[in-house]
Amino acid sequence: MILVTGAAGFIGFHVARALRARGDAVLGIDNLNDYYDPRLKQARLDQLAGDAGFVFERLDLADREATLALFARHRIEAVVHLAAQAGVRYSLTHPHVYVEANVAGFLNLLEALRVYPVRHAVYASTSSVYGANTKQPFSTEDRVDRPISLYAATKRANELMAYVYALQFGVPLTGLRFFTVYGPWGRPDMAAFKFTRAILAGEPIDVYNHGDMARDFTYIDDIADGVLRVLDRVPARDADGVQHRLYNIGNHRPEPLLHFIDVLAKAIGGTPQMRMLPMQPGDVQSTYADIDDLRRDYGWAPATPIEIGLPRFVAWYRAHYGV
């Protein structure tokens, strides 16, 4: 059985579904918090309901005893840890939520992995750890000790915590730094979702840094494929005998924000009203993933440009919300 934390979340749902599609038994957990509409989270779970190979338990990893009890109840062979409090800007106004979910929750998971060993655990990190780095593409060899948001700081803390548990307790761990994931069943606080909703409603969209931004937008099916590839192979020991690796997982093709909006608007068949605004605190001008090591070690490469992915998202949005 494979444990997927954050199974009601955007990436967690797709990973759980991909695991089930190839025949893996999946135990999904989620605390179903209200950072965004819990009805969307429940709708994702409803897509998995009725599948005997998928079991869901509502659980908050910040609850140490409940987390250990979960591992005691189930024979868990591997873990995909995607549960986290996401969002750069929200972390500037709700810091305690991030420490509880991303730091305390991850620590409780690591402790459970120490007591109940598994074959391999893959965990989510983020491109936000690169902070205001200007050298691009971002490489896992770059310095990441100058985060510009608490969200990024908690995720970098996860990477360091994972290394310690791999070093001291022999827990095999791989961290994946995700780059701006989008697609069907996506998060309402992300650009594709927010812009689609506004354009269909005839409302203006907020365009930060006056449109001078670029993102390595990565389609969800490519992400799920990459996660499964990494999960299936335990990282080799490094020179110190530690089984811990970090990889970027992104589209390796930063798209200018205004081009992204143009492709999305054409898929919708509408004309966007753009409200140009300055850069937001904690945000960065551009992201760009160096994926050479992931390509080399796992044969993974993105397959979906935004010209294909955004129309798929719009089709899902129209169907799901009846627009």
Task: pLDDT band for 91, please (50, 70, 90 cuts).
Answer: confident
What is the length of the chain? Answer: 323
Cβ atoms within 10 Å of 287's Cβ, excluding its own: 25
* pLDDT-above-70 percentage for the chain: 100
- How high is the pLDDT of residue 297? 96
Closest by CA to 21, choosing from 39, 3, 48, 45, is: 48
Q: Note the Cα 320 to chain centre separation in Å.
A: 22
Per the CB < 8 A criterion, the answer to whether 9 and 30 are in contact is: yes
Give pTM, 2 decimals.
0.95
Q: Evaluate whether 59 touches 52 at the Cβ level (below 8 Å).
A: no
Q: What is the set of domains in the chain, with CATH numbers?
A: 2-180+220-252+287-303 (3.40.50.720)
Q: Which helix (H) or strand (E) holds 218?
A: strand 218-219
Q: Does residue 84 register a pLDDT over 80?
A: yes
Quote the CA–CA distance of 68 and 117 in Å, as a whole number: 12
pLDDT of 172: 98
Which of 94, 299, 316, 306 lies closest to 186, judged by CA?
A: 316
Between 140 and 90, the more confident residue is: 140
Given a contact cutoff of 8 angstroms between Cβ atoms, the answer to whether 283 and 88 are in contact is yes
Is residue 142 predicted with pLDDT exceeding 90? Answer: yes
User: What does the DSSP assignment read for 238-305?
Assistant: -TTS--EEEEEES-S--EEHHHHHHHHHHHHT---EEEE-PPPTT--SB--B--HHHHHHH-------
Question: What's the pLDDT score for residue 196?
Answer: 97
Average pLDDT over residues 73-93: 93
For this structure, is 182 an active site residue? Answer: no
How confident is the model at residue 280, as a pLDDT? 84
* Residue in 90, 130, 151, 165 annotated catalytic: 151
- The confidence score (pLDDT) of residue 143 equals 93
Could you tell me the pLDDT band of residue 179, with boundaries at 50, 70 and 90?
Answer: very high
pLDDT of residue 115: 98
Phi, psi of 249 (to 5 degrees): -135, 105
Please tell me the predicted confidence (pLDDT) of residue 282.
77
CB-side neighbour CA atoms (13 Å) of 278: 2
pLDDT tens digits, one per residue of 231-246: 999 999 998 999 999 9
- Reported as a single tens digit per residue, the pLDDT across 286-312 is 899 999 999 999 999 999 999 999 999
What's the Rg (C-alpha) of the chain? 19
